[in-house]
Amino acid sequence: MKYHYFLIYKPFGMMSQFSREGDKATLADLSFDFAKDVYPVGRLDADSEGLLFLTNDTFLNNRLLNPKFKHQRTYFVQVDGQITDTALKELQKGVKISIDGKPHQTLPAKVELLVNEPPLPPRTPPIRVRQNIPTSWIALTLHEGKNRQVRRMTAAVGFPTLRLVRWAIEDIKLGTMQPAEVVEVEKEWLFKKLKINR
């Protein structure tokens, strides 16, 4: 069986699936002819953007989604307001959020305040900017991926997420990719960057 591995820059507003739900854009709208057995590894919410893998390799799927392997994911997050040192320290230490109605303590995370806006393409549509209210950008690296975790975390420390972009998974970064771009990659390169031995 021939395995295929793709990196995509999932645009804002697109669902991380091929099947239709109402009039929302899906992966089927990308300008690429994927084999029928290729599926996304994990998901990004429709209102989030960034790096997503697609493959027909079930080993990779299990390796990246199984919580015991704790692979790292880095997000660029634009939040509402000038984020404080206290909030950054709380995010770093781990915060209490609610997942499916149950309390969850997030694992310690790496958090960095970004002095400059990260090198991302503009979002379409752009975020709503409130006059006289500043925004901040942070880089947040997690080793777990609960439902809407980043948004719940920044809300828990008082700084709601305005824009969320998954920038990297382990050593694979979006780099200069553009929204809706699809890149097919070699297994050896991908596994090396993901620190997977097989």
33 is catalytic: no
DSSP helix/strand/coil, 93: helix
Q: In whole angstroms, give the CA distance from residue 115 to residue 141.
A: 17
Tell me which residue of 98, 91, 99, 106 sits closest to 159, measured CA to CA: 91
The H or E element containing residue 192 is helix 187-193
Q: In whole angstroms, give the CA distance from residue 114 to residue 136.
A: 8
Query: Do residues 133 and 60 lie in contact, with contact meaning Cβ atoms separated by under 8 Å?
Result: no
Q: In whole angstroms, give the CA distance from residue 119 to residue 109.
A: 22
Question: Following DSSP, what letter does each residue of 37-58 receive, concatenated?
Answer: T-EEES---TT-EEEEEEES-H
| Residue in 29, 37, 45, 100 annotated catalytic | 45
Q: Which residues are catalytic?
A: 45
